Chain A
Amino acid sequence: MHTKSWHSVGPSLDACIKCNICTSYCPVTAVTDLFPGPKYVGPQAQRFRENGQPHSPDHSVDYCSGCRVCNEVCPTGVKIAELNARARAQIVAENGLPLRNRLLGRNETLGKLAQIAPRLANLSLHNPVSRVLAEKVMGIARHAPLPRFSESGTFGDWFQRTQHERLKSDKKAVYFHGCATMYYEPFVGKAAVAVLEHNGYEVIVPPQNCCGLPLLSNGEFDEAAKYHSNNVNKMRIYAQAGLDIVGTSTSCTLTLKEEAPELLDAFDEGSNQLKMATWDIFEWLRERYEAGELKTDFRRMEMVLPYHAPCQYRAHRVGKPALDILRLIPGVDVRESHARCCGIAGTYGYKAEKYQIGMDVGAELFDFVAEQGDVALTACDSETCRWQLEHGTDKPSRHPIEILAAAYGLYELNGRDVVHS
Chain B
Amino acid sequence: MLDLLVIGAGLTGLTAAYTAAKSGLRVKVIAKGLGAMHWGAGTLDILGYLPGEEGAVKRPLAAISQLPDGHPYRLAGDVAGVLATFVALTEEIGLPFQREVGRRLTQINADSENLLLPSPVGAARPAFAAPVGQLGGDLSRPEPMLIVGFTGLRDFYPQLIAENLTRQGYPARAAFLPLAVVSGRRDNTAVSIARELDNPDQRQKLAQALRPLLKPGERVGLPAILGLDDHMQALADLQGLMGTAVFEIPTLPPSVPGMRLFRALEERLQRLGVRVEVGMEVTGANRGWRPETRDSQSPISNLQSPISIEWVETETSARPLKHRARAFLLATGGILGGGFESDVNGRVWEPIFNLPLTAPQKRSGWFRPAFLDPQGHPVFNGGVAVSPDFRPVDGAGRPLFANVWAAGGLLANFDPILERSLSGTAVVTGMAAAQAIVEHVKCEP
- Are these two chains actual partners, yes or no? yes
Interface residues of A (CB under 8 A from B): 19-21, 23-25, 29-30, 33, 36-37, 71-77, 254, 257-258, 275-276, 278-279, 314-320, 336, 338
Cβ contact within 8 Å between B318 and A19: no
Cβ contact within 8 Å between B317 and A315: yes
B275 within 8 A of A: yes
In the bound complex, CA of A258 to CA of B275 (Å): 25
Cβ contact within 8 Å between B316 and A75: no
Cβ contact within 8 Å between B254 and A316: no
> Shortest beta-carbon distance, A14 to chain B, in Å?
13
Cβ contact within 8 Å between B187 and A33: yes
In the complex, what residue of chain A is closest to B186 when comparing beta carbons?
A33
> Shortest beta-carbon distance, B442 to chain A, in Å?
24
B347 within 8 A of A: no
Q: Which residues of B contact A23 (CB under 8 A)?
A: 189, 191, 254
Q: Which of B35, B318, B321 contacts A258 (CB 8 A)?
A: B318
Q: Which of A36, A314, A318 contacts B321 (CB 8 A)?
A: A318
Q: Which of B35, B189, B277, B315 contacts A75 (CB 8 A)?
A: B35
Q: Which of B38, B192, B319 contacts A21 (CB 8 A)?
A: B38
Cβ contact within 8 Å between B189 and A20: yes
Interface string of B295-328 (1 = CB under 8 A from A): 0000000000000000000111111010000000
List the one stretch of B174-182, B278-286, B358-366 in contact with chain A: B278-286
In the complex, what residue of chain B is closest to A75 when comparing beta carbons?
B33
Cβ contact within 8 Å between A73 and B318: no
In the bound complex, CA of A144 to CA of B317 (Å): 30
Taking A73-B33, A77-B33 as contacts, is the C-beta distance between A317 and B321 under 8 angstroms?
yes
> Shortest beta-carbon distance, B162 to chain A, in Å?
25
B172 within 8 A of A: no
B185 within 8 A of A: yes
Cβ contact within 8 Å between B189 and A21: no
Taking A73-B34, A77-B32 as contacts, is the C-beta distance between A257 and B318 under 8 angstroms?
yes
Q: Which of A20, A21, A71 contacts B279 (CB 8 A)?
A: A71
In the complex, what residue of chain B is closest to A29 when comparing beta carbons?
B192
> Shortest beta-carbon distance, A379 to chain B, in Å?
18
Cβ contact within 8 Å between A317 and B338: no
In the bound complex, CA of A77 to CA of B279 (Å): 9
Q: Which of A21, A29, A258, A316 contacts B34 (CB 8 A)?
A: A21
Of the four ranges (under 10, 10 to 19, 20 to 34, 35 or more), the interface on chain B belongs to 20 to 34
In the bound complex, CA of A355 to CA of B35 (Å): 33
> Shortest beta-carbon distance, A164 to chain B, in Å?
34
Supplied contacts A279-B318, A318-B316, 15 more A-B pairs, CB within 8 Å: A21-B33, A23-B254, A30-B192, A30-B195, A72-B279, A73-B33, A73-B278, A74-B34, A75-B36, A75-B338, A316-B317, A317-B279, A317-B316, A318-B317, A336-B270
Taking A36-B187, A257-B318, A317-B321 as contacts, is the C-beta distance between A72 and B278 under 8 angstroms?
yes
Cβ contact within 8 Å between A19 and B253: yes
In the complex, what residue of chain B is closest to A15 when comparing beta carbons?
B338
In the bound complex, CA of A75 to CA of B409 (Å): 15
Cβ contact within 8 Å between A20 and B253: yes
B340 within 8 A of A: no
Residues 1-50 of B contacting A (Cβ, < 8 Å): 32-36, 38-39
> Shortest beta-carbon distance, B292 to chain A, in Å?
20
Q: Which residues of A contact B147 (CB under 8 A)?
A: none
In the complex, what residue of chain A is closest to B185 when comparing beta carbons?
A33
Interface residues of B (CB under 8 A from A): 32-36, 38-39, 185-187, 189, 191-192, 195, 253-254, 259, 270, 275, 277-281, 314-319, 321, 338
Q: Which residues of B contact A73 (CB under 8 A)?
A: 33-34, 278-279
A-B contact pairs, 19 of them (CB 8 A): A19-B254, A20-B191, A21-B33, A21-B34, A21-B254, A23-B254, A30-B192, A74-B34, A75-B33, A75-B34, A257-B317, A258-B317, A258-B318, A276-B319, A318-B321, A319-B275, A319-B277, A320-B277, A336-B270
In the bound complex, CA of A317 to CA of B186 (Å): 34
Q: Which residues of B contact A19 (CB under 8 A)?
A: 38-39, 253-254
Cβ contact within 8 Å between A317 and B315: yes
Taking A257-B318, A276-B319 as contacts, is the C-beta distance between A76 and B253 under 8 angstroms?
no
Q: Which residues of B contact A25 (CB under 8 A)?
A: 34
Cβ contact within 8 Å between A24 and B38: yes
Which 8 pairs between the two chains have the least Cβ-Cβ distance? A72-B279, A75-B33, A258-B317, A33-B186, A24-B191, A257-B318, A257-B317, A317-B316
Q: Which of B254, B275, B280 contacts A24 (CB 8 A)?
A: B254
> Shortest beta-carbon distance, B11 to chain A, in Å?
14
Q: Which residues of B contact A338 (CB under 8 A)?
A: 270
Q: Which residues of B contact A72 (CB under 8 A)?
A: 33, 278-279
Q: Which residues of A contact B316 (CB under 8 A)?
A: 316-318
Q: Which residues of A contact B259 (CB under 8 A)?
A: 24
> Shortest beta-carbon distance, A391 to chain B, in Å?
25
In the bound complex, CA of A317 to CA of B278 (Å): 9
In the bound complex, CA of A19 to CA of B251 (Å): 12
In the complex, what residue of chain B is closest to A324 when comparing beta carbons?
B275
> Shortest beta-carbon distance, A215 to chain B, in Å?
19
Cβ contact within 8 Å between B254 and A20: yes
Taking A19-B254, A23-B189 as contacts, is the C-beta distance between A275 and B318 under 8 angstroms?
yes
In the bound complex, CA of A416 to CA of B321 (Å): 33
Q: Which residues of A contact B279 (CB under 8 A)?
A: 71-73, 314, 317
> Shortest beta-carbon distance, B331 to chain A, in Å?
14
Cβ contact within 8 Å between B254 and A317: no
